[in-house]
Amino acid sequence: MSALNTVRLCFSKTGRAKYISHLDLTRTMTRVIRRAGIPLWYTEGFNRHPYITFAAPLSLGYEGLRESMDLRLEEELPMEELVRRMNAAAPEGIRFLSAAPAVMKAGELTSARYRIAFAGESGGCGKALLERFLQQEAMPVEKRTKKGGVKTVDIRPHLENPVLDGEEAAAVLEVTLPCSSALTLNPSLLLTALQAFSGDNTLCCTVVRINLFGPDGRTFC
């Protein structure tokens, strides 16, 4: 690896770390890099800042099993050493899994796989209800636009490979949703549609992003 090459770190963000916002995550990672003694590259100019970018920021309260962070190094550093140092300095809930030169660009992202696990008692959602929900031909929901407006989107055609598992009273749904510059669907829209279908606004669940994908189903990190 040559200096100033972009390196992609794959990490998990679970437990208490799921409550770290995207803005705070950037600050947290900057502190981790500093503590780990990583030779991070900073931009030129009067207001210098570190080169750190994240693909498809994770929503607050969601866990992520294979999130990605790109950074640039001023000096060569073995990938295994980079991961070891970062883990030694990382806070609870953040674990670095691998590091490699970044190949795929963030703009090439196409989709993300999620696991939605519903509570078993109050606020639960049964498999039978989810089966009926997924059999719908249309799932119209209101989605905010980049310009601050609201438009109605039918999310049903964009639900790829839904798989139901878990207990009858505590269902688990895995589904792939669009995650691209053209269209991104947050699982919250799916939950909004489910609440409207069931008439139950007390549904309780945990959301985990399993992975990010690019063209032809290639994993992002």
- Residues 142-185: tens digit of each pLDDT: 998 878 889 999 999 999 999 999 877 789 999 999 999 999 99
Which tens digits make up the pLDDT trace of 80-133? 999 999 999 999 999 999 999 999 999 999 999 999 999 766 556 788 899 999
Average pLDDT, the chain: 91
Domain 6-103 belongs to what architecture?
Answer: 2-Layer Sandwich (3.30)
Domain ranges of the chain: 6-103, 108-217
- Residue 164's nearest CA partner among 156, 175, 155, 153 is 175
Question: What is the Cα–Cα distance from 87 to 32, expressed in whole angstroms?
Answer: 9
Average pLDDT value for residue range 9-28? 96
pLDDT of residue 183: 92
Which of the four pLDDT bands, split at 50, 70 and 90, describes residue 2?
A: very low
Give one word for 130, left, alpha or beta, with left for phi > 0 and alpha for psi -120 to 50.
alpha
Between residues 78 and 121, which one has the greater pLDDT?
78
Which of 21-25, 72-76, 188-192 is the least confident region? 72-76
pLDDT exceeds 70 at position 40: yes
pLDDT of residue 132: 94
pLDDT of residue 44: 74
- Residue 56's nearest CA partner among 107, 116, 15 is 107
Helices (H) and strands (E) in the chain, counts: 4, 10
Share of the chain above pLDDT 70, in %: 95
- The third-level CATH classification (topology) of the domain covering 108-217 is Alpha-Beta Plaits (3.30.70)
Question: What is the Cα–Cα distance from 191 to 171, expressed in whole angstroms?
Answer: 13
C-beta separation of 79 from 10 below 8 A: no
Question: What is the Cα–Cα distance from 105 to 177, expressed in whole angstroms?
Answer: 19
C-beta separation of 69 from 52 below 8 A: yes
User: Amino acid identity, residue 129?
Assistant: L
| Run of H or E including 142 | strand 140-144
pTM to 2 decimals? 0.92
